[in-house]
């Protein structure tokens, strides 16, 4: 009913709007007054976390994209090698796991069969499993050694939005916590990022306030067949997520690429008027990658494509090459996905509406896939 949707036309719009609160709720009570993380919920003993030699993340769909982003954070802040794998591939690959492997299973519903099978397989091999989940008492947390709940509240729309942002928050918390427990070199940076996380909810709110031009742009592209998404570093999984959202909701051909791979193939796809969305890394956090991606934007534009650029406030170097410029607040480099994903959600939702698609219940998709 309209009341359930809180006055919005679709649950997806309501859930996009709820993201600042979802992010704040997921942080609530997990940072103490001294600025340290208190994640007692992770009942895996600190010694076990200190001795872990490898982290393996398993998930499906949008949750898998959260896992891809987590890898950058975990390896950077903890120096523990981290692999990320689609749960459906992991299970049947005969992966190498032992008692010193920490497996993180990410699932909004906690009922995805592929992810559950990956969890069971990991535990049979003696690995410890930590679930990141949005649904209290669901199967994946029940079958895991520990769980860190995301507090997004119920997500109804099939295409995941607020659950994704809170999965990211939970992944950052786990990465920072592992860093804190293991006392890595990155101690000062970890303390600074914990402080910065407290500002993220406000940053997401600011993004949401500036989305009207994104909706207009989406409507203007309703007759297109293809959209490409490019990103680097943590912006690469953001590009994958932007493309997935467009497939799910607008039924358009959309692909995400690592911008560095452009020259190894995808550039052949660039055509007059093809919309290409580029997620630009922070110029302070990653000046080298930033400059490389600005060159990519120039290359794409030189071939006549329509460039849609997502860049930090104050980053002027991109302006001359952007047909459409979407601004996001300045954040620490690793946290950028929390703000960069939001315009892509709005973009896909508006394109779906403009193409007359059912936003909350896309064809052929289920909210939770409980078959293998």
Region binding ligand G6P by CB under 6 A among candidate stretches 7-15, 108-116, 190-198, 333-341: 108-116
CB of 81 to ligand G6P, least distance (A): 24
> Which segment (58-66, 145-153, 274-282, 323-331) binds ligand G6P by CB under 6 A?
58-66
User: Using CA atoms, how far apart are residues 336 and 356, in angstroms rounded to an integer?
Assistant: 31
Of the residues 19, 115, 166, 201, which one makes contact with ligand G6P according to CB under 6 A: 115
Distances (CA, A) of 140 to 96, 101, 105, 135, 277: 21, 18, 8, 9, 35
Q: Is 82 in the site for ligand G6P (CB under 6 A)?
A: no
Return the number of the residue (78 or 166) whose C-beta is nearest ligand G6P: 166
Q: How far is the CB of 267 from ligand G6P (least distance, A)?
A: 30
Q: Is 112 in the site for ligand G6P (CB under 6 A)?
A: yes
Nearer to ligand G6P, 64 or 72 (CB): 64
The stretch among 7-15, 27-35, 102-110, 267-275 that binds ligand G6P (CB under 6 A) is 102-110
263 vs 201: CA distance, rounded Å? 36
Q: Which of 26, 62, 78, 180 binds ligand G6P (CB under 6 A)?
A: 62
Q: Could you tell me if 329 and 206 are in contact, meaning their C-beta atoms sit under 8 angstroms apart?
A: yes
| Closest distance of CB 140 from ligand G6P, Å | 8
What lies within 8 Å, CB to CB, of 60 at 6+ separation is 86, 87, 88, 107, 112, 114, 115, 369
Number of residues in the chain = 372
Q: Least distance to ligand G6P from the beta carbon of 372, Å?
A: 13
Binding part of the chain for ligand G6P, among 28-36, 57-65, 223-231, 255-263 by CB under 6 A, reads 57-65
**The residue to which tokens 């996905």 are assigned:** 337
Counting contacts by CB under 6 A, is residue 108 touching ligand G6P?
yes
Exposed e or buried b per residue across 180-197, where buried means at least 16 C-beta atoms within 10 angstroms of its C-beta:
bbbebebeebbbebbebb
Location of structure tokens 């406030």: 313
Single out the segment in contact with ligand G6P by CB under 6 A; choices: 104-112, 222-230, 257-265, 278-286.
104-112
Q: Which of 198, 303, 365, 370 binds ligand G6P (CB under 6 A)?
A: 365
Quote the distance between the C-alpha of residue 372 and its chain's center.
23
**Burial of 343 per CB tally in 10 Å (0-12, 13-18, 19+):** buried
In the stretch 135-174, what mask flags binding to ligand G6P with x, by CB under 6 A?
A: -----------------------xxx--------------
User: What Rg value do the Cα atoms of the chain yield, rounded?
Assistant: 20
Does 88 engage in binding with ligand G6P (CB under 6 A)?
A: no
Given a contact cutoff of 8 angstroms between Cβ atoms, the answer to whether 233 and 260 are in contact is no
User: What residues pair up with 253 in beta bridges, in sequence order?
Assistant: 226
- CA–CA gap between residue 84 and residue 68 (Å, rounded): 6
| 310 forms part of the interface with ligand G6P (CB under 6 A) | no
Q: Which helix (H) or strand (E) holds 106?
A: strand 101-107
- Of residues 268 through 297, those in contact with ligand G6P by CB under 6 A are none
Say whether residue 107 binds ligand G6P (CB under 6 A): yes
What is the size of the binding site for ligand G6P (CB under 6 A)? 16
| 367 carries an active-site annotation | yes
Residues that bind ligand G6P (CB under 6 A): 60-63, 107-109, 112, 115, 158-160, 365, 367-369
- Active-site residue set: 367
């Amino acid at each position: 009913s309209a009341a359930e949707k809180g006055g919005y036309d679709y649950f997806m719009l309501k859930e996009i709007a709820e993201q600042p609160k979802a992010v704040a709720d997921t942080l609530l009570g997990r940072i103490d007054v001294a600025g340290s993380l208190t994640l007692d919920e992770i009942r895996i003993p600190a010694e076990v976390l200190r001795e872990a030699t490898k982290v393996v993340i398993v998930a499906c769909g949008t949750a898998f994209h959260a896992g891809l982003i987590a890898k950058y954070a975990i390896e950077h802040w903890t120096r523990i090698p981290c692999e990320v794998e689609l749960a459906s591939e992991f299970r049947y690959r005969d992966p190498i796991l032992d008692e010193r492997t920490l497996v993180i299973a990410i699932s909004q519903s906690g009922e995805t069969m592929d992810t559950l099978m990956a969890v069971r397989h990991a535990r049979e091999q003696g690995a410890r499993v930590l679930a990141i989940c949005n649904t209290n008492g669901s199967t994946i947390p029940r079958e895991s050694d520990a769980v860190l709940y995301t507090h997004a509240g119920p997500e109804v729309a099939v295409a995941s939005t607020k659950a994704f942002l809170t999965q990211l928050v939970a992944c950052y918390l786990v990465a920072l916590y592992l860093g804190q427990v293991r006392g890595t070199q990155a101690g000062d940076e970890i303390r600074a990022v914990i402080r910065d996380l407290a500002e993220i909810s406000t940053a997401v709110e600011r993004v949401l306030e500036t989305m009207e031009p994104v909706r207009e742009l989406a409507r203007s592209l309703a007759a297109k067949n293809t959209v490409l998404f490019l990103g680097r570093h943590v912006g690469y999984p953001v590009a994958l997520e932007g493309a997935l959202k467009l497939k799910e909701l607008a039924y358009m051909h959309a692909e995400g690429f690592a911008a560095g791979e452009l020259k190894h193939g995808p550039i052949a796809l660039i055509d007059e008027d093809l919309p290409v969305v580029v997620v630009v890394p922070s110029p302070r956090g990653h000046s080298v990658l930033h400059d490389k991606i600005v060159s990519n934007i120039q290359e794409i534009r030189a071939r006549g494509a329509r460039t849609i650029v997502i860049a930090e406030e104050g980053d002027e170097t991109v302006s001359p090459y952007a047909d459409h410029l979407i601004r996001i607040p300045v954040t620490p480099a690793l946290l950028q996905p929390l703000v960069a994903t939001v315009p892509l959600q709005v973009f896909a939702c508006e394109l779906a509406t403009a193409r007359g698609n059912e936003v909350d219940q896309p064809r052929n998709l289920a909210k939770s896939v409980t078959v293998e």
